[in-house]
């Protein structure tokens, strides 16, 4: 059958589900990649009835991806960390890079962290199994049509018609999550937005080596630039490595008419370190295939009864290497938004606004990061492949403005001076700075979106509310009556909640560093 899955039972711990008798679900998720599986699993673990279309087996070879140590945070939030830790996925402690003419350099991840070198079919299968174990109905089929629940001004469940290998059907859901990646079954209905960025074609192949890869650490991803392209490779086992070249057929001197493998090998000949790594004794075991790797985003990321999640929402430049992490973070927030909407329909608008803002911030941030690398390569290689990309960073498009999180504000370079000011001043008299307002903005608390008071300023136009567990608007309220850190701390513990004094000092320092508060002028 094409419909299968498992459900939890207090008696036997799980059982096989046949074809679903009731095709109406709380949520229908289209796509079984990292975003779809993660969102499905999380929503099912919260008690919702979820159907997930995982598609049919691909005719293309599996892709490989290198996931940074920071991917553990979204995996943990999604309840998937133990699934990955118990797997045999190859671990890596860093990257090896030769970029913009620099010498080959191996760099370990900070704080002893380890990344993951995954083959996407195996990684996706792990996440799909975790979703099924949580009670998700899994449908092996392709979405043929989607009807959203607010079309023609009417309110009804969304509907997805699908076709499998030997059967077909229709499932309905109060919410539809488009996690279909580049296919974008909902995104392509007028929401997908292509920027004026150059086209990128990824040509990939798989190599085996009878001996260890000749790198300082064979588990590392290897990245190098060359005059009109760049090469990337990731090992998925001690013997096997996926190797891709990124080219622009309009700007790269890419051989045509001689077959893809010959063109691929010609690109490898332009490299230094991949040529040394592969052409000595490695064997090409899966011949090259090509796919587009051109970034895109969306004009909108959600509406009544639907969200665009992961790569369906936006695709970032592969140079950033954060695609899967972005998809998992998108899945987590999508699940939170749906949970909020189903529990508290009045919060649908603010929840979708928060989701859209986060998606735009993520796309803009990763695009700017890639542009920095392209600018370095453009300065060295002086080739149109690089200069076109260095100039093509999309303009920030977040309608709610920037919203620094507590992690980033604690790395603000102005923070040490603010800490020193507070420690050295015997007394201080501070108030909310001119131009700073207090507004209720959507934030995530637990597994719901709620409205909370935020401080809004030109440097934090998206609002900032909490640092190290300290509510900043509430802290501002106490500043008017307390002029020393010990007095302020005692008042906070007495009137609010017990905290560490270093956390309160950190939050107060952020207020000073970001100029959210200012000294009260002395009386004349």
What angle (nearest 5°) sits at the alpha carbon of residue 354, between those of residues 28 and 48?
Answer: 30
Bridge partners (DSSP) listed for residue 283: 208
From CA 451, how far away is CA 214, in angstroms rounded?
Answer: 54
CB-based contact 6:14 (threshold 8 Å) = yes
From CA 300, how far away is CA 360, in angstroms rounded?
Answer: 9
CB-based contact 218:235 (threshold 8 Å) = yes
Beta-carbon contacts of residue 507 (< 8 Å; ≥ 6 apart): 467, 468, 470, 472, 475
Neighbours of 153 (CB within 10 A): 5
* DSSP 8-state code for residue 60: S
Which pLDDT belongs to residue 393?
Answer: 61
What angle (nearest 5°) sits at the alpha carbon of residue 44, between those of residues 322 and 447?
Answer: 65
N residues, the chain: 524
From CA 224, how far away is CA 22, in angstroms rounded?
Answer: 53
Over residues 238-255, the mean pLDDT reads: 89
Instruction: Select from 1.10.10.10, 2.30.30.40, 3.50.50.60, 3.40.640.10 the CATH code of 3-87+119-195+296-368.
Output: 3.50.50.60
Q: Which residue has the higher pLDDT, 462 or 340?
A: 340
pLDDT at 154 over 90: no
From CA 42, how far away is CA 130, in angstroms rounded?
Answer: 10
Over residues 193-202, the mean pLDDT reads: 87
* CA-based nearest residue to 264, from 286, 283, 240, 245: 245
pLDDT tier at 406, thresholds 50, 70, 90: low
Backbone angles phi, psi at 55, to 5 degrees: 85, -175
From CA 518, how far away is CA 425, in angstroms rounded?
Answer: 14
Sort residue 81 into left (φ over 0), alpha (ψ -120 to 50) or beta: alpha
CB-based contact 344:449 (threshold 8 Å) = no
CA dihedral (299, 303, 305, 309) in degrees, to 10, reads: 40
How far is residue 444 from each of residues 76, 298, 449, 514, measured CA to CA in Å?
A: 16, 23, 4, 22
DSSP string covering 352-410, please? HHHHHHHHHHHHHHHHHHHHHHHHHHHHHH--HHHHHHHT-PPPP--TT-----HHHHT
Q: Which two tokens stand for residue 4?
A: 């299968």
pLDDT tier at 422, thresholds 50, 70, 90: confident
DSSP string covering 125-151, please? HHHHHHHHHTTPEEE-SEEEEEE-TTG
pLDDT tier at 512, thresholds 50, 70, 90: very high
The distance in angstroms from the start CA to the end CA of the chain is 84
Over residues 271-300, the mean pLDDT reads: 92
Considering the chain, what is the average pLDDT of its residues?
Answer: 88
What angle (nearest 5°) sits at the alpha carbon of residue 266, between those of residues 262 and 271?
Answer: 145
Listing from the earlier edge strand, what are the strands of the sheet with 115-119?
Answer: 64-67, 115-119, 90-92
Instruction: Output the CA torsion sign for 362, 365, 368, 369.
Output: negative
pTM for the whole thing?
Answer: 0.88
From CA 505, how far away is CA 487, in angstroms rounded?
Answer: 12
CATH 3.50.50.60 intervals, the chain: 3-87+119-195+296-368
Over residues 161-166, the mean pLDDT reads: 91
DSSP-based three-state secondary structure for 463: strand
pLDDT tier at 95, thresholds 50, 70, 90: very high
* DSSP 8-state code for residue 55: -
CB-based contact 117:66 (threshold 8 Å) = yes
pLDDT tens digits, 64-75 = 999 999 999 999
pLDDT tens digits, 328-352 = 999 999 999 999 999 999 999 999 9
pLDDT tier at 403, thresholds 50, 70, 90: low
Backbone angles phi, psi at 174, to 5 degrees: -70, -25
Greatest pairwise CA separation for the chain in angstroms: 86
From CA 289, how far away is CA 361, in angstroms rounded?
Answer: 32
């Amino acid at each position: 059958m094409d419909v299968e899955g498992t459900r939890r039972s207090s008696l036997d711990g799980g059982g096989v589900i046949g074809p679903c008798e009731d095709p109406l679900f709380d949520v229908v998720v289209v796509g079984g990649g990292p975003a779809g599986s993660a969102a499905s699993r999380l929503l099912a673990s919260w008690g919702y009835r979820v159907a997930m279309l995982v598609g049919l087996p691909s005719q293309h070879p599996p892709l490989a991806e290198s996931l940074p140590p920071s991917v553990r945070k979204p995996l943990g939030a999604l309840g998937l960390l133990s699934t990955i830790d118990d797997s045999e996925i190859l671990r890596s402690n860093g990257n090896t890079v030769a970029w913009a003419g620099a010498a080959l350099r191996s760099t370990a991840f900070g704080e002893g962290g380890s990344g993951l070198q995954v083959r996407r079919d195996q990684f996706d299968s792990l996440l799909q199994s975790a979703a099924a174990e949580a009670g998700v109905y899994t449908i092996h089929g392709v979405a043929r049509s989607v009807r959203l629940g607010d079309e023609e001004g009417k309110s009804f469940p969304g509907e997805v018609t699908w076709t499998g290998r030997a059967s077909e059907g229709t499932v309905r859901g109060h919410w539809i999550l488009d996690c279909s990646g580049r296919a974008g079954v909902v995104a392509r209905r007028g929401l997908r937005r292509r920027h004026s960025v150059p086209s990128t074609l990824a040509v990939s192949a798989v190599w085996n080596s009878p001996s260890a890869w000749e790198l300082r650490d064979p588990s590392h991803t290897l990245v190098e630039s060359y005059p009109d392209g760049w090469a990337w490779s990731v090992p998925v086992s001690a013997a096997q490595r996926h190797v891709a070249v990124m080219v622009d057929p309009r700007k790269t001197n890419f051989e045509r008419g001689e077959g893809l493998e010959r063109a691929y090998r010609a690109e490898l000949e332009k490299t230094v370190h991949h040529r040394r790594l592969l052409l000595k004794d490695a064997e090409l075991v899966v011949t090259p295939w090509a796919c587009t790797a051109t970034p895109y985003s969306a004009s909108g990321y959600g509406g009544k009864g639907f969200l665009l999640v992961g790569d369906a929402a936006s695709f970032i430049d592969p140079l950033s290497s954060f695609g899967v992490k972005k998809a998992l973070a998108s899945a987590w927030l999508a699940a939170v938004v749906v949970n909020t909407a189903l529990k508290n329909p009045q919060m649908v608008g603010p929840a979708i606004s928060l989701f859209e803002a986060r998606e735009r911030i993520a796309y803009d941030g990763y695009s700017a990061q890639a542009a920095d690398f392209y600018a370095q390569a453009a300065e060295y290689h002086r080739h149109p492949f690089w200069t076109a990309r260095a100039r093509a960073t999309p303009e920030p498009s977040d309608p709610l403005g920037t919203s620094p999180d507590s992690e980033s504000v604690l790395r603000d370079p102005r923070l040490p001076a603010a800490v020193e000011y507070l420690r050295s001043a015997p007394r201080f008299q501070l108030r909310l700075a001119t131009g700073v307002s207090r507004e209720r903005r959507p934030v995530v608390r637990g597994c719901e979106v709620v409205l909370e008071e935020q401080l809004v300023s030109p440097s934090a136009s998206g609002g900032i509310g909490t640092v190290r567990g300290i509510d900043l608007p509430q802290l501002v309220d106490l500043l008017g009556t307390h002029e020393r850190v010990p007095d302020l701390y005692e008042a906070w513990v007495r009137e609010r909640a017990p905290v560490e004094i270093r956390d309160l000092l950190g939050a107060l320092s952020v207020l000073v560093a970001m100029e959210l508060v200012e000294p009260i002028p002395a009386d004349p």
